Amino acid sequence: TPSDLRDLLRFTTTLARKAGNLILEGSEAISKASASGVNEKKNSVDLVTEYDVKVEELVKQEIKDGYPNWGFIGEESYSSGARHPLTDEPTFCVDPIDGTTNFVHGFPFACISIGIIDQKKPVLGVVYNPFLDHLYTGVKGQGSYLIRNGGTAQKLPLTGARPLPSLSQALVAIEWGSDRKASILTKKSDSFLRLAGDPDNGIEKGRMAHSLRSMGSAALNFAMVAQGGLDMYWEIGCWAWDVCAGVIIAQEAGGFVTGSKDCPHDGNITEEILTGRKYLVIRGIADTPNESGIDAQKR
C-alpha cells in the first residue's frame, strides 16, 4: 500500500545515506593507500574493492534486521556465489558501489543503488551519490525526486527538460562496460560511431546525436535521464543491480525503458537481466532506438 511504500522509502533513503558515508570513508582510505584493496574480477578493468564488500555487508544486515522475510540480491553476494533465486516475492536488489572504477580513481560519480522488486517489477528505487550529495528516489505511482545537499525534494524531470523531436538533438549516454571482448566491443563501438558520426559525411546509417557521455555508473545514467540532463542511455549487458533502482526512477519521471524488436525488454527484472545476458536501452524523449542504427545484439 502507499503508506507501506512511504515507510519503505524512509528506510531505504536512511540506509542509502548510511552506505554513502561508508563509501566516502572508503574513498578516503583508497586514495591514501593507492592501489591496495582493489581487486580484479573477470579482467583487469572489472574492479571490486574491499568497500564494495563492506557496503554490501552493511546494507544486507540492515535489510535482514528490517525486512527479515524479504529477498536480497546483491552484486557482491551474487559474485561470491550466494545467489538468491528470482521469485515474485518482494526483493531488494542492491549494487553497493555502482561506478566502482570511478570510485577507485576518485572520479566523483559513484553511488549506492537500492532497488526493490515486487512480482519482478521495480517498485521503489534509491540512488545516492555521496560525493555530490545527490539523492534520487522513485516510487511506483508516486513520482521521482532529487534532493541535493539536504535541500528540498525536487520533482523529476527538473523543469527545463524539454521534449525532443529526434535523436539527432539528443545527448546520449553510452558505456564501455567491463566486457572488452572484440565481439562485444565491436558492436558497441559501431553503435557509438553511428550515434556520433555525420551521416552526410561518410557514416552509414548514422544519426549524429548532439554528443555522447559516459557517467561510469549505470544507475547515475538512469538518474540523469530522469533528471532531464540526458535524453537517452544505451548499454549492452547491464546486471539487475545496476538497473533496478534506476529503472523505476526513470519510469516515474516519464522515461521509457525498452529493448529492441529482437530483444524485447520493459524494465522488469527477468532471469536474463539477472544473469547479465540481455542488452538494455533506456529512452528519454528521443525517437526510437530501433530507428537509430544502434546495434541491438544480445551478448
Cross-strand bridge partners of residue 98: 111
Distances (CA, A) of 158 to 6, 58, 65, 99, 126: 22, 32, 35, 24, 17
Taking the complex as a whole, the smallest distance from the CB of residue 132 to ligand IPD amounts, in Å, to 16
Note whether 247 and 115 are within 8 A (CB). Answer: yes
Distances (CA, A) of 225 to 182, 233, 241: 29, 7, 18
Closest C-alpha among 217, 208, 184 to residue 292: 208
Which residues are known catalytic residues?
75, 95, 97-98, 100, 242
Interacting residue with ligand IPD among 217, 227, 251, 258 (CB under 6 A)? 217
Q: Which is nearer to ligand IPD, 164 or 238 (CB)?
A: 238
The residue whose Cβ lies closest to ligand IPD is 175
Interacting residue with ligand IPD among 56, 76, 242, 252 (CB under 6 A)? 242
Count residues contacting ligand IPD (CB under 6 A)? Answer: 14
Considering only 66-74, 184-192, 231-239, 288-296, which stretch makes contact with ligand IPD by CB under 6 A? 231-239
Taking the complex as a whole, the smallest distance from the CB of residue 100 to ligand IPD amounts, in Å, to 4
Taking the complex as a whole, the smallest distance from the CB of residue 19 to ligand IPD amounts, in Å, to 13
Taking the complex as a whole, the smallest distance from the CB of residue 173 to ligand IPD amounts, in Å, to 9
Cell for 247? 529503472
Between 70 and 109, how does the x/- string for binding to ligand IPD read (CB under 6 A)? -----x-------------------x--xxx---------
DSSP 84: P
Interacting residue with ligand IPD among 177, 197, 246, 289 (CB under 6 A)? 177
Is 263 a residue that touches ligand IPD (CB under 6 A)? Answer: no
DSSP 101: H
Considering only 116-124, 134-142, 233-241, 290-298, which stretch makes contact with ligand IPD by CB under 6 A? 233-241
Is 130 a residue that touches ligand IPD (CB under 6 A)? Answer: no
Looking up cell 574480477 gives 41
Q: Which is nearer to ligand IPD, 12 or 100 (CB)?
A: 100
Q: Which is nearer to ligand IPD, 145 or 239 (CB)?
A: 239
- 213: Cβ contacts below 8 Å, ≥ 6 apart: 171, 172, 173, 174, 230
24-28 long-range Cβ contacts below 8 angstroms, 24+ apart: 24/130, 24/131, 25/51, 26/50, 26/51, 26/54, 26/55, 26/97, 26/103, 27/51, 27/103, 27/106, 27/110, 27/131
Residues binding ligand IPD (CB under 6 A):
75, 95, 98-100, 175, 177, 216-218, 235, 238-239, 242
